[in-house]
Each structure stands twice: as C-alpha cells, then as structure tokens.
Amino acid sequence: MKKNTGICLGLCLCVCSSGAAFAQKTADGVMPPPPKVLVIQREFVKPGRAGSVHAKSESAFVQAMTAAKWPTHYFAADSLSGRSRTLFFIGYDSFEAWEKDNLATAGNATLSSALDSAALADGDLLTEYDTSVNVFRDDLSLHSPVNIARMRYMEISRFVVRPGHSMEWEALVKMYKTAYEKAVPDTHWAVFQSMYGTDNGGVFLVFTPMKSLGQIDRSFADSKKFSDSLGQDGMKKLEDLEASCVESVQTNLFMFNPKMSYPTDAWIKTDPDFWSPK
C-alpha cells in the first residue's frame, strides 16, 4: 500500500497506456472488450518448485488440451512480487458458457483422465490452490480493449470496498475515469468485480497489461499530470472519498508465461516467437 491514498488509487488505475483487457482483434480489425466472466485459478508454488519445474508439470495440461483440440483457451502469468504463485486466466462470454465448458470437459473421458493425471502430479508442487470468478465492470473501466497477445506483464490491484460503501466506490472510480480521460487520454484499465471465491465480498480487481516494465516509470509522470489537473482541492476530495470507502488495496506484478499457456492460434500468429516457444 502506498501512503498517500489518493495517489495510490490514481497510480493503480492509471499505471500505463498499454490497455487492460483479454482480447484479440477480430477479423474486421475491431478490438473486442474483455470477457464478461473471468475465471482466475491461482497456484501457490512450494519454494524451489517454481520456474522450469513448474513449467514442465504444467506442460501436461497444455498437451492434453492440444490433443483434444479444446476450444477454450487460457494464459498464465507468474508473480514478480508477493508470494510465489501462478495465475491462469480463462475468459467466457457468460456463466452459461462456463457451465457448458465444464460439462463438456467432464463428458470427454480422454481429456478428463489426462487432466486428472496432470493435476495429481502438479499438486505435489503446490502449497495452495484456489479459484475465483469475476465479472467485467465496463462502467468502471477505461479504454479497456487491448491486444493482449502483445503484452508481457500484468499489474493487478485488488481493492476491498467497505460494506455499505459500494456507491461511494463507484463514484470514486468514475471521478478518476473522467479526470484521467481529460488529463491523460491514452490511459487504460479494466475492472472486474469478484462474484465467487475466497474472501470475495466487496473485492474489485483492476488489470493493467503492459508491454514492458518501463511503462511503470512513465506512469509516475502521468499521475502528476492527473493531480495537477485536479488541483489541491480536487485531490483532497478524492482522498477523502477513498478513505471513506476503501478498506484495503494491494498491488502486484506478474509476468506472462507462454510455456504454461494454451493460447489461441490467433495469439500464436500475432507473436509466434513468444507464444510458441521451442
């Protein structure tokens, strides 16, 4: 957590102009928005079992999905800060689509058996495992579509909103949206609200994919532009509102891991050297 609450929220939401979404350009060149439903699976890795050891274990899942020519894809990201863990992101158009995928997987005996075997071996490397289900909040996001296949890092900020203060939280984020769009118009972020999972009440996740960590350096200048545009009175108003509605916030960095990912053909064609490593 940063000491200045107003600047903290601003940096977490602004960060970079790289965009924040989980999308790939469609045939007509239009960038779609992030998925409506985002399933995040977290694997907490034992000391000494990360890196190539974990990647080798995860390759069994990728091989099983590839052999089945499974239509649902995912990508992985390893932590650069906080506890050693890997996140797996799977997007769906709806909860019904998620259900259909789960049922189809369970109904495919060959794939289910291969995934069970892979999970058994992978479990020996882990200390914890959990799953959260999140819904996209377009009203709280700014310029969210981005070509995620070109990104390499992800900053994720986790905000816990005080019970009974959701309206204040939404007002706060929308104030930031309006101000940043004027002061730093190329700012991007995507917000997801946790629906199911451990300690998910009042939890909002802010995603900012990045092409390089150098974008974080540039974000500090953008934050100054933002605060200068609001002035002292405006910043004080935002700080007071945040202090009232935000219970806690934590921000961490993650690096995409193509060896643990099951990307679409479109992603591979976009950057084959990265998404299809030898």
Top mean-pLDDT range of 22-26, 62-66, 197-201, 213-217: 62-66
Look-up: residue for tokens 């601003």?
Answer: 10
Task: Report how many domains make up the chain.
Answer: 2
Higher pLDDT, 199 or 275: 275
pLDDT in tens, 5-16: 333 454 455 444
Q: Examine the domain organization and report whether 173 and 92 are in the same domain.
A: no
**Rounded Cα gap, residues 163 and 147, in angstroms:** 35
Angle at Cα 83 formed by Cα 16 and Cα 21, nearest 5°? Answer: 30
Its domain, for residue 186, covers 5-24+136-254
Residue that finishes a domain, picked among 75, 106, 134: 134
Residue 111 lies in a domain: yes
Residue 31 lies in a domain: no
pLDDT in tens, 136-157: 999 999 988 889 999 999 999 9
CB atoms within 10 A of CB 138: 13
Residue 126 has pLDDT above 60, yes or no: yes
CB atoms within 10 A of CB 177: 19
Residue 4 has pLDDT above 60, yes or no: no
pLDDT in tens, 64-82: 999 999 999 999 999 999 9
**Rounded Cα gap, residues 223 and 14, in angstroms:** 7
Q: Examine the domain organization and report whether 72 and 154 are in the same domain.
A: no
Q: Examine the domain organization and report whether 145 and 241 are in the same domain.
A: yes
Confidence of residue 185 (pLDDT cuts 50, 70, 90): confident
Average pLDDT score over the chain: 88
pLDDT, residue 180, reads: 86
**Rounded Cα gap, residues 91 and 34, in angstroms:** 8
Mean pLDDT of 214-218: 89
pLDDT, residue 13, reads: 52
Say if CB 250 and CB 79 are below 8 A apart. Answer: no
* Residues contacting 175, CB < 8 A, separation 6+: 238, 241
Q: Which string of b and e fits 239-278 if b means at least 16 CB within 10 Å?
A: bebbeebbeebebbbbebbbebbbbbeebeebbeebbeee
pLDDT, residue 198, reads: 85
Q: Examine the domain organization and report whether 159 and 108 are in the same domain.
A: no
CATH number for the domain that contains residue 79: 3.30.70.100
Q: Examine the domain organization and report whether 75 and 129 are in the same domain.
A: yes
pLDDT, residue 186, reads: 83
pLDDT in tens, 219-228: 888 888 888 8
Q: Examine the domain organization and report whether 140 and 249 are in the same domain.
A: yes
CB atoms within 10 A of CB 69: 7
**Rounded Cα gap, residues 155 and 150, in angstroms:** 15
Task: Name the β-bridge partners of 85.
Answer: 44
Say if CB 130 and CB 42 are below 8 A apart. Answer: yes
User: Concatenated DSSP letters for 143-160?
Assistant: S---BGGG--EEEEEEEE
pLDDT, residue 182, reads: 86
Residue that finishes a domain, picked among 102, 134, 166: 134
**Rounded Cα gap, residues 31 and 51, in angstroms:** 32
Query: β-strand 203-210 against 190-196: which pairing, if any?
Result: antiparallel
Which segments of 73-202 does DSSP mark as H helices, in order? 95-107, 109-123, 166-183
Angle between helices 214-245 and 5-14 (to 10 degrees): 130
Q: Examine the domain organization and report whether 207 and 104 are in the same domain.
A: no
The burial class, CB within 10 Å (0-12 / 13-18 / 19+), for 199 is: exposed
Q: Examine the domain organization and report whether 130 and 140 are in the same domain.
A: no
